[in-house]
Structure 1
């Protein structure tokens, strides 16, 4: 199968996996939000940072190196698997030992047992990450879908049952453990790959030298990303952590679905054309415009419907999370520009620049937290929005050195892509805020009316302006059957 056909097949299967998994997860989270109090979600939110650090350290970025490699062999995969498992095992015991001190920091005694049990997920994840990496390298996403969807369904049922039986936060913990165990079993059965426990030192050195910079960047990003629940839990309350994590999760749902769908295919695809800068830029430009078109549309619509959405799906007890959610959606608009510019550095092997970029962005975010923490949660989230914009500038600067896609060109493409959505947003926001047109409707009708008006205006404007995003979508619909989405191989 040609590279183009593999890419198109990969996008299709990945979309099915991401759409299916997020749909299942969305339904599960809605049910859990009605069964579990915000304070219980807040407890888990306080410790997510440790799990995030553990997963970053256990992989050490070497799975990304395997995907980028030209021809990784059995020794490559086995070496990385053995190192990942060893590190994850050591990390588990570190978290087991320091759990009481973390509980003391938060003044939440229940966290000791939660950390010790939830950290098992780090070990479980190390057991299937290389099997998943092998499938990704081969652009085989059909098997990944067959593993992911049943795992989410089974673990979701487990979580709902335990929540119904009043297990509280433990329902969330056991749900993640069941998900990891099922994925491990399924990936082993699908790939039939048994790792060799021997470690090849030269292979280890090769992948470590590429991956450790990604790991350091990933750890910093995950710490900063997850430090918000930690800071909110320390300075405010568990309930506020629950509101923030729920708002963040709702924002991440469309962002992660779309970005993961593309990124799982895009990264290995770009890695295969990394030496052809012209083709690399052309493929990147299409991905950038399409992902920005989709995410800017969704994020702007979610800001408009946030209040009825939370009221209808989660219940009125979650309405305090609405302003958090609306501000976080703004960061989702910037996500494609930040994500895919940084991918250029990875496929070019410049993980040193990737790390440098991550250091700058995360330092500015920490400074933002320090400056705003005493003023409330809204200023904290505004610091995230500003930091996302700073990240855009930094990412474009570095990526431009390799694909010649400068600020002005990216800005023009982004502005033209997002302009119809911004106009649609402004019109409907004016009607809602100044004419209060939704005052006599229930939550469900508000969702239908606002969503329908927004999409009608948006689509009309895209046709009126004849935007490139619309042309790219039309072109893809014509070329998908021919397997020509990314040009010549």
Structure 2
């Protein structure tokens, strides 16, 4: 099978996996949100930063090195598995000992036991990272889909049953543990692979040299990303943490579903493309299509946020709506930053990837320091400003390798997003300056608002025959990814 056919097959299976996974998780989260109080979600949100850092440290970026390698062998996989497991056990011990100190920082005594139990997921996750990496290297995403969906169903049912039995935040904790154990067992029976539990120094040196810079940048990014619940919990309340994390979860659902589908497949595919010209063509098309889809989704969510939250989660979650709407703006910039930064990984320039990550996150930390005591809205505005700064930085570095400069990228971005902004402005004006949407029940408002926005958007694209929509139609007709864009 050719690389292009593998890519399209991989995207198909990965989309099924990602959409199915996120649909299951989204449904489970909606049910849990109605059974568990925002304060309980807030408690878990306070400790997510520690598990995020733990998972980054455990892998140390070495799985990315395996995927990028031309022909990794059993010695490569066993070496990375062994070091991952050893690091996960060490980190669990660290978090177990530090749990009382973290609990004291938040002045939340319940966190001690929560941290000690939830941190077990770091060890469990290290047990299936390499099996999943092997399947990704082989572009075998069908097996990953068959593992992910049953594991999520089992974990989701566990969480719902425990929430119904009034376990509160513990339902969320054990749901994650069941998910990790299920994936470990399923991946073992799928791959039938057992590591040798040996370390080969030359292999460790090779993968660690590539991966440690990715690990550092990942740790920095995860700390900064997850520091928001930490700050909110420290200066405000557990309920406010719950509202913020719920807004993030709702915003991330479409972004992670779509972007992870492409990234999971296209990173190994792009790594196999040797000519910079072909890489630019494939990358350019990917970014334009991702931006078209995610801009449409984010603008639609901003318009329908209030009826969406009321209908799905209930009125008790409505304080999260303004946070959600602002966070959706950051989602528009996500594909631009994601795919530009991936070029550096594909080219093996993890040193530049780390440098870029440090610059972006330092600017975000400055924004946090300036706004953290003012309120949650200013904190989110700092994220939006940082997303714009990150776009400029990511484009600058990516241009060094694929000749896709700022002026050209900005032109593509504006052409792709402009129809959505026009449709958004039209519907927004109708909502706030006319009585058309007054006194509608939530589900009707949701359907009318969303339908009107999509109708206007599609009409604009087809009336002006926008090149982004033409490329979308070509993709649906299975046009090969590597062909150049044809602009009108």
Aligned to 1:174: 174
- Say yes or no: does 1:224 pair with 2:238: no
1:15-65 CA-partner distances (Å, limit 9, x unpaired): 000111111011100000000000000000000000000000000000000
Aligned to 1:165: 165
Measure the CA separation in 2 of the matches of 1:477 and 1:334: 24
Residue 477 of structure 2: SS of its match in structure 1? helix
Residue 348 of structure 2: SS of its match in structure 1? coil
Q: Tell me if the contact between 2:46 and 2:230 (Cα under 8 Å) persists in the aligned partners.
A: yes
Q: Tell me if the contact between 2:419 and 2:457 (Cα under 8 Å) persists in the aligned partners.
A: yes
Measure the CA separation in 2 of the matches of 1:306 and 1:79: 47
Aligned to 1:256: 256
Map 1:37-48 → 2, pairs under 5 A? 37-48=37-48
Residue 375 of structure 1: SS of its match in structure 2? coil
Measure the CA separation in 1 of the matches of 2:476 and 2:114: 48
Aligned to 2:156: 156
Q: Tell me if the contact between 2:285 and 2:481 (Cα under 8 Å) persists in the aligned partners.
A: no
Aligned to 1:137: 137
Measure the CA separation in 2 of the matches of 1:72 and 1:332: 35
Measure the CA separation in 1 of the matches of 2:160 and 2:197: 38
1:346-367 CA-partner distances (Å, limit 9, x unpaired): 0000000000000001111111
- Say yes or no: does 1:295 pair with 2:291: no
1:151-210 CA-partner distances (Å, limit 9, x unpaired): 000000000000000000000000000000000000011011111111110010000000
Residue 372 of structure 2: SS of its match in structure 1? helix
Aligned to 1:485: 481
Q: Tell me if the contact between 2:326 and 2:380 (Cα under 8 Å) persists in the aligned partners.
A: yes
> How many angstroms does 1:132 deviate by?
0.3
Residue 196 of structure 1: SS of its match in structure 2? coil
Aligned to 1:467: 466
> How many angstroms does 1:479 deviate by?
2.9
Measure the CA separation in 2 of the matches of 1:106 and 1:308: 33
Residue 409 of structure 2: SS of its match in structure 1? helix
Measure the CA separation in 2 of the matches of 1:438 and 1:150: 41
Residue 374 of structure 1: SS of its match in structure 2? coil
Aligned to 2:17: 17
Aligned to 1:278: 277
Aligned to 1:195: 195
Q: Tell me if the contact between 2:244 and 2:320 (Cα under 8 Å) persists in the aligned partners.
A: yes
Measure the CA separation in 1 of the matches of 2:187 and 2:31: 28
TM-score by length of 1: 0.98
Measure the CA separation in 2 of the matches of 1:254 and 1:474: 21
Measure the CA separation in 2 of the matches of 1:128 and 1:466: 47
Q: Tell me if the contact between 2:423 and 2:457 (Cα under 8 Å) persists in the aligned partners.
A: yes
Aligned to 1:410: 409
- Say yes or no: does 1:434 pair with 2:433: yes
Residue 363 of structure 1: SS of its match in structure 2? helix
Aligned to 2:104: 104
Tell me which moved more, 191-200 or 30-39.
191-200
> How many angstroms does 1:487 deviate by?
4.4
Measure the CA separation in 1 of the matches of 2:478 and 2:239: 50
Aligned to 1:235: 235
Measure the CA separation in 1 of the matches of 2:440 and 2:412: 38
> How many angstroms does 1:100 deviate by?
0.1
> How many angstroms does 1:472 deviate by?
1.1
Please provide the CA RMSD for this pair. Answer: 0.8
- Say yes or no: does 1:88 pair with 2:88: yes
Aligned to 1:456: 455
1:125-161 CA-partner distances (Å, limit 9, x unpaired): 0000000000000000000000000000000000000
1:356-397 CA-partner distances (Å, limit 9, x unpaired): 000001111111010001111000000000001100000000
Aligned to 1:371: 370
Aligned to 1:319: 318
> How many angstroms does 1:245 deviate by?
0.2
Structure 2 residue runs without a partner (length 5+)? none
Tell me which moved more, 109-118 or 196-205.
196-205
1:261-316 CA-partner distances (Å, limit 9, x unpaired): 1000010000001x310000000001000000000000000000000000000000
TM-score by length of 2: 0.98
